[in-house]
Structure formats: structure tokens, C-alpha cells
Amino acid sequence: MFNRIEKYLKDRLKNIVFIELKEGRGEKEQKIDALRGIPLPIHVKEFMNIVKKEEDIEEISFVPIIKAMIALIGLDNKFQYIPQYKQFLYVLDKDIESYIGYEGIKLAEKEQLWDALVYFKALIELDEDNINGLYNYARCCQDIAKRESDEEKRKDMEQEAMNAFEKVIEKHPDFAPAYYYLGFYYANQKLFKKAQLTWEACLQSCSESDMSEENKQEVVQQLKNIEEDVQYEEGYLLILNDQPDLGIKRLKPLLKKYPDRWNLFFLIGLGYRKLGEIQQAIEYFEKALASRPTQAEILNELGISYILCNEFEKAEKHLRKAVRIKESDSEILCNLGIAYMGQKKNELAKEVLQKALQIDPENERVLECLKKLDTIC
């Protein structure tokens, strides 16, 4: 189910070797008969102890083999004999999942996090809905990530943890601790609305046995901390999703507290442009530009706004600045071409439009403008 971190587990397969049972072993014949002729895993360290003690492989305890089977299921679920191992484990102990979960927790408590992770991954392979496996697998990934100095590995472990927590709440929607941790992942990724909904679900589903009072209060505080971030996210999503009037209403109150945030002015300006209130849009874009004079996106939006007002010279002024900052942006080049066309600077228009077409040969706006230009020239 979880494949992102398999590349970090491959080396652990080197610690497993295989032995094979011969006919005639007398211990619990019925339970082990199914394993006759099948390579059985055992950890190298255990195997070397057997060799040193000159023990007969046929007489050794089955415990090391069982542990290696569990590890192999967690490490490589595509191994040829995994189905036989699974079948044997359930025959050996119908409550084998509880045993694996218990051993995994013991390993985690000893700070043997990778070993614990493998056990919980095996538990998920046996039962993909097992809450003990899913939740503790996520916690192991999370704890490993916190201690990891390699950035790529840390990000992979964090993503794996987040995916596992998501799977927990998908399979067990009333399990509050998963919501608790998941909210932090969403907040760290600046998905504030998602974090808000997740933490609210955490409080709705939690009971005294699920979470401590301290953690509940922490969630309440986190919800307060992200209120304005949620309001901002809701506002810009409304604007981007063609509900500019609602978006502006969400964003404008934030200007009272954050009068210097250029992105607020920019988004409100975008909202007004979508509403067709172009002078209002220009006013807000100009305020955004005062804080970020080299922001190509602001210059481009001002250029578009002036084009809509048929003020092509002003549009050209802003769009030329934008092109100097982002010279390979086909949309900005297209807008500059339109500004030139509005002033009948057709040769300049053709030049920048052809450049835009080289960057993005399938840009329909550019193709349409060039077609129109051909009818003029």
C-alpha cells in the first residue's frame, strides 16, 4: 500500500538469508508441513549464531524464522513466497496481528524505529485496515523524519506519515489522534482550510481515552492561530474560482490589520478586474506595485487592466517592465503584443507574438492574435 519509502528499506533485505526444512522434522509436523520445500527466511545474525553453536538447523527454534517472515513481509511484499508465509503465520497463531503490533510497539519504545516501522508495515500488509498498524506506521515515519538530516529522505518520510494518517481517518473516521497529527502536516504545507477542518474533526471525534486535555487545548490554540490564514486562503480561492465578490469580502477586512501586504492588494485587484470594475482593480494593483515594484505578475495585471480601458500606452509601459523581469513568459509577451496592436505598432506586435509562439507553440491566444494581425497587415 505504501511504496514511497521502499527504497530506504531495500538494504535491510541483505540481513536476511534463507534455509530449507528437510523431511522428517518431528516438531509440530502439521503446522510446518506447508513450508516443506519452501525457502525460509532467517536474519543473518541468528543464522551465524546457529553456525557458531554447530546446531542442527532442523532442531532450532522457529521463533527466529517467524520474526524474519514478519520482517520480510514488511520489507518486500512481492517476494515469491509471501502468501505461504502469511498463511503459515495465521495457522500458527490466529491472533498473529496482535502479536506483530505488540512487538512493533516494544521496538518503538526501545527507539528501534526502523525495525518497528517494518513490523507495522507487515501488519498493514496482513490487514490494510488495521488501525494499530496504520497509526503506528505513521508515527514511526514521523519520528524518523524528525531525526533525519537528509532533506529528501526527511520529506519522503513526512509525506509517508501524512499519507498513513490520511488512510487512518479514511478507514477509521472517529480516531481523533490521527486528525491531531494530520492537522499539523496540512498547516505546514499552508493548506490552512484543510488544517482547520481536520482539527475541528479532531475535537468533534475525540474522547478522554483518545487524547489528553493538553493536546485538546493545543488544537484549540492552533485553530485560533490559523484563523486569518484560513480567511486569506478562502478569499483567494473564491477569487480564483470565479466568485470575486465573495473573495473580496473575505480579504478586505485583513487589510485593516495588514495594510502593507502586497498580496492582499493584488488579489483584491484581481477580484475587481474579474468583476469588470477596472478602475478599482488598477487602484489596488498600483498599491501592490508600490510594495513590490519588480513583481512581474502585478505589472502584467496592470497591463491587462489598462488594455481593457483602451489605455494602450500605459499598458505597454507596464508590460515592457514585466517582460524584462520574465522574458520567457508567453502570456506576458502576448499581452504586450496586444498593447502594441492597440497602438498600431504592428511590426513590434508581430515580433513579440512570434517570440511568445516559440515559447508556447500551442498558445491559442497568441495564435489568434497573429491571425488577426495577418488580416491587418
Across the chain, the runs of DSSP E, i.e. the strands, are 16-19, 40-43
State how far Cα 286 lies from the chain centre: 36
**Region 312-337 average pLDDT:** 96
Cα four-point dihedral sign 274, 275, 278, 284: negative
* CA–CA gap between residue 318 and residue 336 (Å, rounded): 9
* CA–CA gap between residue 22 and residue 19 (Å, rounded): 10
This prediction's pTM:
0.84
- At what angle are helices 113-126 and 82-92 packed, to 10 degrees? 90
Q: How confident is the model at residue 62 (pLDDT cuts 50, 70, 90)?
A: confident
- Structural contact between residues 118 and 75, judged by C-beta atoms closer than 8 angstroms: yes
- Residues of the chain with pLDDT > 90: what percent? 81
* CA–CA gap between residue 262 and residue 298 (Å, rounded): 10
Mean pLDDT is lowest, of 9-13, 70-74, 164-168, 226-230, for 9-13
* CA–CA gap between residue 307 and residue 369 (Å, rounded): 14
Give yes or no for residue 5 having a pLDDT over 60. yes
Print burial letters for 271-286: b (CB count within 10 Å at least 16), e (below 16).
bbbbeebbebbbebbe
